[in-house]
Copies of this chain bind each other. A is one copy, B any other.
Amino acid sequence: MRRPVESVPGGAAGRRITIREIAHEAKVSTATVSRALNAPEKVAEETRQAVMAVIERHHFVMDGVAMSLASRRTRTIGLIIPTITNSIYASSTQAIQQCAQASGYAVLVGVSEFDAGQEASLIRRLLERRVDGLILTGTTRASALYETLKRNGLPFILTWQPSEESELPSVAFDNFAAARLAMDHLIRLGHRRIGLICGRSEANDRALARRLAYEAAMRGLGVAEAEWLIFERDFEFIEGRTAMHRMLDHRLPPTAVFCANDIQAIGALSECQARGVKVPDEMSLIGFDDLPISQYLSPQLTSIRVPASQMGYLAAEKLLAWIASGEAPESEVLPVTLVERDTTGPAP
């Protein structure tokens, strides 16, 4: 496989300069160049400067791919989220980015669109690319997948939902407890006929946990199951809106609705406004996520604030620590808070 002396007339994309040429020009070995860059303390200051001079002269940058192959570390972590467009995921993603970027790691993000099959295939692809670690969303997935990760010795952190098992480290908040916080707020205000709008619980364990909290609260109230109103929908404004539309058309509409995410809550709110249903006088509405926008709505949305950024940052920190040390970290449960604003009021 001899290359014919690179004499392309037009001058194609110039061959990159390699560490070998740098070494030759600096009259040292490639090992020394490598060390000058990766472990300066192992090289005499004088030598280091000489090497650096040559490097700068040629604008030399190491080939990350070759580095990865030789060192068996890619300095890349994988992140899988269901969607970027919901800004609550954007927040945690950005925090993960910041933490990784600060440590010289890159983030390979995969969007699973709430689809387990797609998630599995994304994970496989990240594995093939030899990411050093993984941050996943939610905890519910085929155990074969977790097996694969373990078999490959790949560090990973679960987020958005605490894991039950201790061998699966997670950084998350308690969705069930958080949703109870929302329900208790409504109940404290005297509501008994409460509706629920949430994500698809079969594809989303966070939505499921929130739904279970709703159901537990309703049972606690002694309200007959037949009187509950539950809508599982996709994460779109319009879905929240149409769900509210149907609730209001019900023979006995609820006096309050728990929307398990702010996106749907905003859609629901817009439906109330369009139909002239007064919020919170005739209808109380509580969201979940406390998106930045929620306090700029009119009326301002009552919601559950979740620590998306903090969670992302912490997850990234723990993952990087795991990669560096080889020791799996402890799970961590972050607190959430109820943010009372203007869309909830006493039951009529």
Residues of A that sit less than 8 Å from B by CB: 12-14, 16, 59, 61-66, 68-69, 74, 76, 83-85, 87, 90-91, 93-94, 97-98, 101, 104, 106-111, 122, 124-130, 148, 151-153, 236-237, 241, 266-267, 269-270, 273, 292-293, 295-298
Contacts and interface: CB of A to CB of B under 8 A. Distances in A.
Copies in the complex: 2
Given A14-B153, A269-B296, 18 more contacts: A13-B152, A61-B124, A64-B129, A65-B74, A76-B108, A84-B84, A84-B93, A84-B97, A85-B87, A87-B87, A87-B90, A97-B109, A104-B125, A236-B292, A237-B292, A266-B293, A266-B296, A293-B293
Contacts of A298: 269-270, 273, 298
A67 to B, nearest CB: 9
Nearest to A153: B13
A293 B237 contact: yes
27 contacts: A12-B153, A13-B153, A14-B151, A16-B152, A61-B127, A63-B69, A64-B128, A65-B68, A65-B74, A69-B69, A76-B108, A76-B129, A83-B94, A84-B94, A85-B91, A90-B90, A97-B111, A101-B110, A101-B111, A106-B108, A106-B126, A106-B129, A107-B109, A236-B292, A237-B292, A270-B298, A297-B297
Contact of A69 (B65, B85, B104, B295): B65
